[in-house]
A = this chain, B = another copy of it.
């Protein structure tokens, strides 16, 4: 049985990998983080597409049966363009979060936060309004959140002030649902919930992505039901730094990290 491939620009995709590990414990999973070229969020569409293709080709060398694109920037900027280039199924993080948010909103006002690249792509608005044209979507790029998470500043006054600045216009737009459109943001859930108030539902895509992966593999008869799958991590740079951060994202220590050139 072949492994599942997962890739991200860096460590954020581990929030998705964590759900895959939980929901698909029998699967072998290969994670690739492009640490040498992280972050993707400020980079142009063509560059994100070029890097994404590199990453997919790297995972294909490992004969993966499905690739999970565990990065919102790649999913929103590159996936619409390259989705049909490859035989292997590519599962992004946008559609699952959108479905959940459309289901959750009561007042039909959804907020979306993400990197510059994700927000500029307008993919979330397009996908949401494709499902329900009546929904109003309010978006905001929050580029400082990623460095805060990576430096481990997850609580305290400074990050709360930053969150207040970013979320003020969304709060004023009376959203009742917020999509965390970046795989780093789940680590900021407590501070985001505090700033927005308890009534706003926070959506991250990890759970639904894993559900979708399970469904596709089930349909293809490609689910691996052995007792315990192997998890292997590759990075294009700095395995030590990756390992340090991985614990924070996965809630468990990562042992098997290898450096490769993507």
Contacts and interface: CB of A to CB of B under 8 A. Distances in A.
Interface of A: 35-38, 42-44, 46-47, 143-144, 147-148, 150-151, 153, 157-158, 161-162, 165, 236-238, 241
A161 B160 CA distance: 11
Nearest to A240: B44
Contact of A36 (B47, B151, B157): B47
Contact of A237 (B43, B144, B237): B43
Contacts of A143: 147, 150-151
Contacts of A35: 43
Contacts of A151: 143-144
A35 B117 CA distance: 14
A222 B42 CA distance: 39
A147 B43 CA distance: 14
14 contacts: A35-B43, A36-B47, A38-B42, A42-B150, A42-B241, A43-B237, A47-B236, A47-B237, A143-B150, A144-B144, A144-B148, A158-B162, A158-B165, A161-B161
Contacts of A161: 157-158, 161
In the A-B complex, the 10 residue pairs with the closest CB atoms? A44-B238, A47-B237, A147-B147, A158-B161, A44-B237, A36-B47, A37-B37, A43-B237, A144-B147, A143-B151
B47 A43 contact: no
Given A158-B161, A161-B161, A238 B47 contact: yes
Given A36-B43, A42-B150, A147-B147, 9 more contacts: A35-B43, A36-B37, A38-B42, A43-B238, A44-B241, A143-B150, A144-B144, A144-B153, A158-B165
A195 to B, nearest CB: 14
A68 to B, nearest CB: 24
A158 B145 CA distance: 13
A115 to B, nearest CB: 12
Contacts of A150: 42, 143
A175 B236 CA distance: 38
Nearest to A145: B147
Nearest to A235: B44
